[in-house]
Amino acid sequence: MNDKELYQQKMQARLDEWKAEVDKLKAKASGASADVQLDMNKQISVLERSIEEGRAKLSELAGASEDAWGSIKDGVESAWDSLKSAATDAAAKFKK
């Protein structure tokens, strides 16, 4: 397996982890008060958009040639940084 394929697997695993975290937040939101649910649902929407952005970047990476994938990797990393930041913020907010 080449570097590109290994990187894609690593990023797909991360996406799967983030999706599982969103599912946990959804379950937690369903048991919360109406006000908290509204706030959590906003955060969940942000996370879901970030996950979709990550999926799009991963798809772009999959279609890239071996020579070009390195430059696309930067975009993938940027999307992951945004997703990680959003997830960390959401998790911290709802642990209160």
Asked whether the whole model's pTM tops 0.85, one would answer no
Decide if pLDDT at 96 tops 70.
Answer: no
Q: CB within 8 A of 53, min separation 6: which ones?
A: 79, 82, 83
Non-local CB neighbours of 63 within 8 Å, separated by 6+ positions = none
| CA dihedral angle for residue 50, residue 9, residue 61, residue 66, rounded to 10 degrees | 160
Above 90 in pLDDT, residue 40? no
Band (pLDDT 50/70/90 cuts) for residue 13 is: very high
Whether residue 18 is predicted with pLDDT greater than 90 in this model: the reply is no
The pLDDT > 90 percentage for the chain reads 5
Q: Which residue ranges make up each domain of the chain?
A: 3-94
CB-CB contact of 50 with 82 (8 Å): yes
Specify the residue for token string 């990187």.
Answer: 7
